[in-house]
Structure 1
């Protein structure tokens, strides 16, 4: 590319040249280009200087291409046409035939409820498209978006890079997950009983602090700290351990481990919106838009009819 720029060749000159060559006349070319004759003649002189050889000779009242001019015309014509088509032709996306690979960032709490139904949708509507799942969470999502490591993401987020588009999918709370065969908790869970139990927690920092410690400043009796939610169900089942997890995570765990149960935690942990995130620079990318729409559809189905109505009402994303 450096060689192209070093020539200091205005590509508009090639456009003028092509029209003059086709018209065989500066006067006719000026009319087609909506330029004056002196402007067309000046453009031809500049191009001749850049090429370093005559491009036209007089032929009666018109102009004829020289050997160098005809070679330039032959070589430039298909490329200029391709450039014009690239500039004005709309992008064509066909989900049935597209082989695009989309990189989607997911926090581990979202993999179970989102990926299986999303893949089923793709199998029906976009059988050749592929997904690469990149692990993200609220501490890493900003870098993943700003570095274009992901095309879109589903996670809880705080501060995000400028130009990030965000759409709330749902707002979820927390529940306590336990095995009633081993943990006798009753119908309601008191704070005293909660703190007396041993816990499995998820810590992205690799320590003994989870959401309860960070939000309330109390320290639970942590038996094991794991880096993701993926093993929580297996650790709770068959033990007296207690896990405080997002409600969506608990629902997916109980669906495959029906012996487990949930209770409301004995304290308020608030709630944070789960959001669909993408960069404004890919707003017009039809493949990524297609994938975003399918993520929204899966999220609405996961939340039930009330969420579907809310999703239909939320037609605009925000920055």
Structure 2
């Protein structure tokens, strides 16, 4: 590329040259280019000087290409046409035939409810498209988006890089997940009963503090802290452990582990919106827009209580 910039050649001169060669005269070329005849003649002189040899000769009342001019015309014309088409042609995307690979950032909360139905939709509507799932969470999503490590993401988020687009998919609160065969909660889960039980929590910090400790300053009897939600169902089932988890997680866990039940927590924990995130720079990418539309369709099947963004930073920090 450096060699291109080292040459003092205005590429607009090639456009004038090609039109003159096609028209066979300066007058007709000037009409097509909406330029004056002197401007076209001046452009040809500049190009001839840059090339170092004549490109046209007089032929009657018009112009004919020299051998050097013919070679330049044969080379320049298709490239100019391709550049024009690239600049003005609309984006072409056909979901049925596209082989695009889209990188989706997902927090572990979202893999279970989103991926299976999303893959079913892709099999029907875009059978050749592929997904790469990248793990993200509220602490890592900003870097993943700004570095283009992902094309779009589904997670909770607070501050994001400038130029990030965000769409709320749903908003859900928290529930207590338990196995009624082992955990005796009574008719109503009181704070006293809640604190009397041992708990399993998800902590991205790798410690024994969760949403209850952070928001309410109440210390639970934490038996185990795990880094993701993947093992929560297995840990709760068959034990007296309680897990305070997002409602969407509990819904998926109880669907595959029918022995588990949920109960409202005995305190107000608020909720955090699950958002679809992408960079403004890919707003016009038809393949990514198509993927966003599929995700929105899947998310409409997920129900969660309405909530505000108040307390979102604390809610998303744990569990």
2:17 maps to: 17
**C-alpha separation in 1, matches of 2:136 and 2:8:** 45
1:212 maps to: 212
2:312 maps to: none
SS in 2 for 1:49: helix
The answer as to 2:243 corresponding to 1:247 is no
The structural deviation recorded for 1:282 is 0.9
1:313 maps to: none
**C-alpha separation in 2, matches of 1:38 and 1:217:** 82
| Aligned CA-pair RMSD | 1.4
5 Å-filtered alignment, 1:80-159, equals 80-159=80-159
How many residue pairs match? The answer is: 306
The structural deviation recorded for 1:20 is 0.7
- Residues 169 and 273 of structure 2 are in contact (CA less than 8 Å); yes or no, is this contact kept in structure 1? yes
- Residue deviations 1:277-297, cap 9 Å, x none? 111111111111111111010
The structural deviation recorded for 1:60 is 2.4
2:167 maps to: 167
Segments of structure 2 that go 5 or more residues without pairing to the other structure are 307-319
- Residue deviations 1:79-124, cap 9 Å, x none? 1111111111111111010000011111111111111001000000
2:66 maps to: 66
2:224 maps to: 224
1:187 maps to: 187
- Residues 106 and 154 of structure 2 are in contact (CA less than 8 Å); yes or no, is this contact kept in structure 1? yes
**C-alpha separation in 2, matches of 1:267 and 1:3:** 69
The structural deviation recorded for 1:302 is 2.5
**C-alpha separation in 1, matches of 2:130 and 2:157:** 25
SS in 1 for 2:248: helix
SS in 1 for 2:300: helix
**C-alpha separation in 1, matches of 2:173 and 2:52:** 73
- Residues 172 and 271 of structure 2 are in contact (CA less than 8 Å); yes or no, is this contact kept in structure 1? yes
The structural deviation recorded for 1:173 is 0.2
**C-alpha separation in 2, matches of 1:16 and 1:258:** 74
SS in 2 for 1:168: strand
**C-alpha separation in 1, matches of 2:262 and 2:170:** 20
Superposition TM-score, scaled by structure 1 size: 0.93
Higher mean C-alpha displacement, 290-299 vs 22-31: 22-31
Segments of structure 1 that go 5 or more residues without pairing to the other structure are 308-319
SS in 2 for 1:87: helix
SS in 2 for 1:233: helix
**C-alpha separation in 2, matches of 1:223 and 1:142:** 32
The structural deviation recorded for 1:25 is 1.1
Moved over 4 A (4+): none
SS in 2 for 1:187: coil
1:8 maps to: 8
SS in 2 for 1:17: helix
- Residue deviations 1:10-47, cap 9 Å, x none? 22111100011111111111111110111001111111
**C-alpha separation in 1, matches of 2:152 and 2:60:** 63
SS in 1 for 2:244: strand
2:196 maps to: 196
The structural deviation recorded for 1:263 is 0.6
The structural deviation recorded for 1:207 is 1.1
1:260 maps to: 260
2:299 maps to: 299
The structural deviation recorded for 1:48 is 1.4
1:312 maps to: none
- Residue deviations 1:143-166, cap 9 Å, x none? 111111111111111111111111
**C-alpha separation in 2, matches of 1:216 and 1:154:** 27
